[in-house]
Chain A
Amino acid sequence: MSIFQVPNINLAGISACVPEKIFSNHDYDWISEKEREVLIKTIGVSKKHHAKKGLTTSDLCYVAADRLLNELEWDRSDIDLLVFVSQSRDYIIPATAGLLQDKLGLSKSCIAFDVSLGCSGYVYGLSIVGSLMNNGAAKKALLLTGDISTLNTSYKDKSAYPIFGDAGTATALEFKHGHSPMLFNLQTDGNGYDAIIIPDGGIRNFVDAESLNYKKISEGIYRNNLNIILDGVKVFNFSLREVKPNVLALLQNGDIEIMDIDYFVFHQANRLMNETIRKQLKIPPEKVPYSLKNYGNTSSASIPLTIVAEISNMVKNKSKTLLLSGFGVGLSWGSVIVETENVTCPPILIYKG
C-alpha cells in the first residue's frame, strides 16, 4: 500500500466550468417512463451538462483556469508547472497540456504534460503536482482536470448514457513552507482494465470501419467500439470492495478519526454506489456533499466540481480538513487528506457557445 506525505502545498483556489447545454434524464426517451424514474432515483442524476461536438475538455479547463488566475491575481509568468489530467484530449498527438500553457499565456519555462486518468485523476494529480513542487520544480502550479464523456457515449446505452456529464476544472497550488502535509493513499488494479473501456481508437485496436459498426449488446444497450463500455456490476463490486479499506488505512495512518474530517468529497460515480460506501464507512450524511444531481458523473472533474458547487462557502473563509477520494477506470483509486484555508472559489462557470 502506498501511503505517503506531500508537505508544504497550499490549495489556493478551485474553479469549474461546464458547457451551456443541459440534458435532463427526465427526457431520456430511450427507456420507459417507469424505468426512467427508478434509474434517476437510483443513480441520483436528474440532469447534466453536455458539450457540443467540437468543444473540448481543454476549452472548459481554459475558462476555469483563466478566471481563477484573474481572481487570485497571480502573475502568469510565475506558474512553472501545468498538469492536465484527462481521458479526452484535444488530439491523439500532441499532448493537450502544451496547448493550454500557450493559451493561458504561461511562460516557456513552464513544465506541462498530460496524465491519462479518470475517476481517480484529481487525487493522483494533486500528488504529482505537489511532489514536483517539493522537488523545487515550481512555486506555483495549475492542476487542470476533467472530461468530455458524453460525446463517446451511445444514446441507446442505458447503462452509460444517463450517468455522464461534461466538465473541466482548475486548481491552483502554491508552495508554502510549513503548510500541513497532504496525506495520500494511491492504489491500482489493472486486472480490471476492461470494466470501463473504449475498446477501439488506440493502438491495440486501431480504428477502422468495423469500429463504427453499431451492435446490439443486450436489451436496451446498443453501441459501437468507439463508445464507452461501463460494466456496472464489475465497477460496483470493485468500489464496494476497495474504497472503504483505502480510506480507513489512510485515516489510521494519519491517526485521524472520521469525526475529525469536515467533508468527505467522493468521486461522483452514482448515488447508489456512493451512498453504499458512505454507509460502509459510517459517515454522517452531512459530511458527504453531492453534485451528482445537477452535473452527473464528470470523471476527474467530479471532486473539484463538488467542492465548488456544494461547499465553496465552507472552504472560502475558513480552515477545513477534507478527505478526497476517487475510484474507477483503470482500475485506479486513491484518497487524500488535505488541510485547506481560505480557498478562492469562483462560482461554477458556464461555457457559452
Chain B
Amino acid sequence: MNINDFISRIEEEFDDIKPGILEPDDILKEKFTWDSINALIFLAHVNVEYDVEITADELIESKTVRDLFNLVESKVETK
C-alpha cells in the first residue's frame, strides 16, 4: 500500500476536501469535519477499496492521516 494513493482516494471520497491538500501528518479534525457521518463514509470506502473492517474505537484512536493509513495497512496485511 502507498500512502499517497491512499490520500488521493480519501480526497476523492469527501466533498469538503480539495484534492492535494491532505498531508500524511495532518490532524484529521483540523483538516475536515471528522464527524460520525464522515467516519461512516470512510468505513464504507475502506471496505470496498481494501476489503477490511474498522471499529469505532479504532477510528477514535486515529488522530492523523498516517494513523488511518497504518490502521488500514495492518488490517490488509493480517487478512
Q: Which residues of A contact B (CB under 8 A)?
A: 35, 38-39, 42, 159, 232-234, 236-237, 240-241, 272-273, 275-276, 279-280
A219 to B48 Cα, complex, angstroms: 29
Closest residue of chain A to B44 (Cβ to Cβ) is: A276
Which residues in A have their C-beta under 8 angstroms from that of B35? 35
In the complex, which range does the number of interface residues on chain B fall in? Answer: 10 to 19
Residue of B nearest to A41 (CB): B15
Q: Given A38-B15, A42-B41, A280-B47: A237 and B36 within 8 A (CB)?
A: no
Closest Cβ–Cβ distance, residue B32 to chain A (whole Å):
11
Are A233 and B40 in touch, CB under 8 angstroms?
yes
How would you classify the secondary structure of chain B's contact residues: helix, strand, loop or mixed? helix
Mark B33-70 against chain A: 1 for CB-CB distance below 8 A, else 0. 10111111101100110000111100100000000000
Asked whether A232 lies within 8 Å of B36 as measured between CB atoms, the reply is: yes
Give CA–CA (A42, B47) in the complex, Å.
Answer: 16
**Contacting pair A236 B44 (CB below 8 A):** yes
Q: Is the CB of A276 within 8 A of B47?
A: yes
A276 touches B48 (CB 8 A): yes
A272, B41: Cβ atoms closer than 8 Å: yes
A235 nearest CB neighbor, chain B only: B40
- Contact partners of A241 in chain B: CB under 8 A: 53
For the complex, give the distance between the alpha carbons of A234 and B55 in Å: 8
Contacts of B15 in A (CB 8 A): 38
Tell me which residues across on chain B come within 8 A of A280, comparing CB atoms.
Answer: 47-48
Please state if B56 and A42 are interface contacts (CB–CB under 8 Å).
Answer: no
B-chain residues with CB within 8 Å of residue A232 when the two chains form the complex: 36, 40
